[in-house]
Structure 1
Amino acid sequence: MLQVAYIREHKEEVIKRLAKRNLDASKMIEEVITLDEERRKLQTKLDNTLAESNSISKEIGQLYKTGKAAEANTLKEKTTQLKEDSKTLGDQLNTTSNALNDLLYKIPNVPHKSVPKGNTDEDNEEVFREGEIPKLYDGAMPHWELAKKYDIIDFELGNKITGAGFPVYKGKGARLQRALIAYFLDKNTAAGYTEYQLPHLVNEASGFGTGQLPDKEGQMYHVTEDNLYLIPTAEVPATNLFRDDLLIESDLPKAITGYTPCFRREAGSYGAHVRGLNRLHQFDKVEILRVEHPDRSYQALDEMVNHVKEILQELKLPYRILRLCGGDLGFTSVLTYDFEVFSTAQDRWLEISSVSNFETFQANRLKLRFKNKEGKIELCHTLNGSSLALPRVLAGILENYQAEDGIHIPEVLIPYTGFSKI
């Protein structure tokens, strides 16, 4: 959530940068400023009314002590009116404050100056590419056909049990999935991230804290009786570990990693681009998250990007990095880099990671603050990234490592799988 003080002081800049999202925010920003002015006026009136009431109450006590009961009773009538005025002003203040917060919840984060303009993923800017695209044998298959041929993933069985988008991993497919999770976690912990096992359901406050609510409410599975949400990513419970916390500067940075299943109610669509593992309602992901001092959050972002690059280099998968344009940028993000693996069998790029800096946007919602060396309280910066999302990494491995004699396993994973070929 944007800070009102920042909006007031940088109104034109906020409107200009939100335009990169193809959003004309001028009306909303003006309304924020108007509501904030009204809120501050009501707060001043309420404070003055309460102060006057307290002062008169003290005067009444003195009058009673000196035997001036008639004067005291007259003033008591005035305090009764002031109490009624205070209640009215308090109600108006609550209404105005709620309206202001509701509006702020609907305004996305302000894109970084380096974010390119654009409407769709076609306008994203490629900033890096590495890895040789393999030449496959004649008759090479996409991963959903390989999964059936080698009996390692059963999409029909998942459809029978639950529905489309809930695959069942079998035999060496399940072991390869488990190997990837263990490998990612080991890489992350070796890089200084502390591993957490996190809840798979969160409350409404957690959803609001990281910005999934109200923005993505329709994409989250909702357990209505308990008003809990299945997590769309480990980012939600991991970031909420620090909700309402006041850290000290020496506590920073906080670096966390965790594996969770993820659940997303995405709108259904058809075609090869969503077949097999390309788009699921339940999938596994290992996440990295950092809580940083504002002065070094962009250095931390670069470190996270380089960390994911190292993983893909070890897996020896061809990949590229995109800087997302304004129209493709997530609601809460200031700057996002997407990693994509090239699927030779599908002849297309598959997104496998997003690494983002949210600056103070989530921290403001979470009331996640720290006390600096001078004793001043500031909002932290939060960052997160996929390290990595498994379905499309697995698809990339199956398709790019296939040969006529089977699917070869990346060398770095063999100690985890216990086998070198499917």
Structure 2
Amino acid sequence: MIMTIVGIYSLYVLVMIYTSVMQIGYINLIKRKTPVLLSAADFLKAGNYAVTKEKLSIVNTFVDYLVFIMWIGFGIKYIVNEYYTMANEAMMNIAIVMSFVVINYIISLPFSYYEKFVIDAEFGFNNSSLGQWIKDTFISFIMTIVLGSLVVWGIYEIIANFQFWWLWSFLFVFAIVILINMLYPTFRAMFFDKLTPLKDEALDSEIQKLMDKTGFVSSGVFVSDASKRDNRLNAYFGGFGKAKRVVLFDTLLKKLTTKELLAVLGHELGHFAHGDIYKNIALVGAMLFAMFAIFGNLPDSLYLELGLAKEPYVIMILLMLFMPVLGFIMMPIMGIVSRHNEYEADKMGSELGGSAGSIELANALKKLVNENKSFPLSHPLYIFFHYTHPPVIERLKELGVDVGYIEKSGTEGKCEADI
């Protein structure tokens, strides 16, 4: 059984690395060809950035694989032996599982640092100081310890007291996912970003009119000081019910015109009007249900082969070890649904903008590509496994924008500079 588990994880790693290699080869092939949506210099720069990030991803995947082998081979046994003599069983479970979480968190830090202060800095994205990064990392670490311990404690109590523990654990974790979605804007504002009410009364009024058209009720429109970390453009709606907030990155306000900004928000309101947030949560729920159903019914032989008792802490560690695999398997399904939702949201965003709505949204999408230096082309296999949004070129085509002819190989074509 253990060989089957290792084999499944190994296959997952091979597919991950293979898709990354195909993406790197694809981008290296076309980044010096006719530029699409970007100037020749920016097209090459975006291609180099994408390739560099993908190479780091391959290294990260390989390290994760080695760490997985370490945990399966001796790591779980080691931390179990360290805490097995604790008198309080609940505290012992928390200590073992959180030790696993903390070690993995520490292993991930060099990759986070390298991406931020080497890759992003080289390509002009990083505005964050080392002190800011350390502060953010420390806060994330403390939140992981506190909230993670509470979740582990809850799952332990469920496993210890319920026959169909995997079903109740799923419901417990799913409720936490919903709660996180509700509280995300508040937590982010408390610990990471400074949110201030939008001071532009004219823009605020236009945004309110846009929200009224779809029945979206929020607690206000806020501006995030995102530029202290990087130059990327973004906006999001967060929360449920009266706790919903509209959050605009300050970088977005600086780079987009009012009409383009309203088109972007119209797109986000399209997600709200179509209930996409609930669809996404339902998909996450389906993935969580599958995870708990599988790991709640693993044969006892697996634990015997691992040399471990079938205890709550072992079940939770195995669940977390294989969560990336199950997530990767589910990703194509979630990606297909998500990409369809993006097209529909684009359609509604263009309709909310009136007769010129599609033009404004298309212009906004072009600026997002330029400012974020997003390489506009990707290998089809990479899109299938990784993309939650359709390629920008496909979105522009759906909006009626002439992007010129592009071969399926992506190696030839011409994109018009203007609509």
Q: TM-score range with shorter-chain normalisation?
A: 0.3 to 0.5
> With structure 1 as the length reference, what TM-score do the two structures score?
0.33
Q: How does the TM-score come out when normalised to structure 2?
A: 0.33
Write 1 or 2 for the structure with the bigger share of helix.
2
Greater C-alpha radius of gyration: 1
Higher-strand-fraction structure: 1
